[in-house]
């Protein structure tokens, strides 16, 4: 009984932005717990390679190459997945971008790019998938926030604004869709070793600051996010809704 709470056997999960990094780790983690997974991204070659890596280890994986900022493409490909692959039981809204610059010099086009990808992308995919989930009376949506859903740091104010928006979009999705049997929650990672953070990982001064600032005293490893994703994707979280789960080594708990 205990193990069945966390089983994802027979379920189909769509993970946006899953060609590498956190998205790929989460897709692999869900597959390890029994789910079939649809990997999504804009780079067809990267997504194809990621799908092949999962298939090579015996997992059921499929590719999807819609751009989350294009709502027509999102709607069309999610309809295709539902018709050709199966009903989407789990959506992880992971697609995101970053750009660093002092706020007074921040390029307007980068502000627009961050919001279109990080916020509008989650809205487009969430809305398209939720319509199918509502008709079935069940479904799991997991949005990927950040410690920047709660905290700020110099040179990333627009990114911080997008991740704060994700925290409240999660609450809003819960307020609208929980009555239809959906659970919508968020995972807010701290600082993890990923391709997006590689410049920071390679910066000795920043890494030293991070290790001192984080109670756990280190960077996170992407596999340490899998447990949170499996919990929120499974029956174990059937009465958890509108919640943001910080996986950050204690960063948001300490000053």
* 219 C-beta neighbours (distance < 10 Å), count: 18
112-133: burial string, b at 16+ Cβ within 10 Å, e else: eebbbbbbbbbbbbbbbbbebb
Residues 6+ apart with CB under 8 A from 127: none
* Nearest-angstrom CA–CA distance, 124 and 102: 29
CB atoms within 10 A of CB 201: 16
Residue 8, both tokens: 């994802």
Phi, psi of 194 (to 5 degrees): -135, 170
> Is 246 among the residues known to form the active site?
no
Q: Which of 24, 159, 177, 231 is catalytic?
A: 159
CA-to-CA distance for 132 and 203, rounded, in angstroms? Answer: 45
Handedness of CA 123, 141, 130, 45 (dihedral sign): positive
Q: List, by residue number, the catalytic residues.
A: 159
């Amino acid at each position: 009984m205990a193990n069945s709470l966390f089983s994802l056997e027979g379920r189909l999960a769509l993970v946006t932005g899953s060609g590498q990094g956190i998205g790929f780790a989460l897709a692999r983690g869900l597959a390890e717990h029994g789910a079939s997974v649809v990997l999504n991204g804009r780079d067809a070659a990267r997504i194809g390679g990621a799908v092949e890596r999962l298939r090579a280890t015996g997992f059921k994986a499929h590719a999807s190459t819609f751009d989350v900022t294009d709502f027509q493409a999102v709607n069309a490909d999610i309809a295709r997945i539902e018709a050709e692959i199966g009903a989407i039981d789990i959506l992880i809204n992971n697609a995101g971008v970053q750009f660093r610059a002092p706020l007074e010099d921040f390029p307007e086009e980068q502000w627009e790019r961050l919001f279109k990808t990080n916020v509008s992308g989650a809205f487009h995919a969430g809305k398209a998938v939720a319509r199918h989930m509502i008709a079935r009376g069940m479904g799991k949506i997991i949005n990927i926030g950040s410690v920047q859903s709660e905290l700020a740091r110099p040179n990333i104010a627009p990114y911080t604004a997008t991740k704060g928006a994700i925290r409240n979009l999660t609450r809003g999705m819960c307020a609208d869709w929980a009555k239809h049997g959906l659970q919508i929650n968020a995972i807010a990672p701290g600082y993890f070793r990923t391709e997006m953070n590689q410049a920071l990982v390679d910066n000795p001064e920043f890494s030293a600051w991070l290790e001192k600032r984080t109670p756990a005293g280190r960077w996170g490893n992407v596999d340490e996010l899998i447990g949170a994703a499996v919990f929120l994707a499974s029956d174990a979280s059937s009465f958890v809704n509108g919640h943001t789960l910080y996986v950050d080594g204690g960063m948001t708990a300490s000053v």
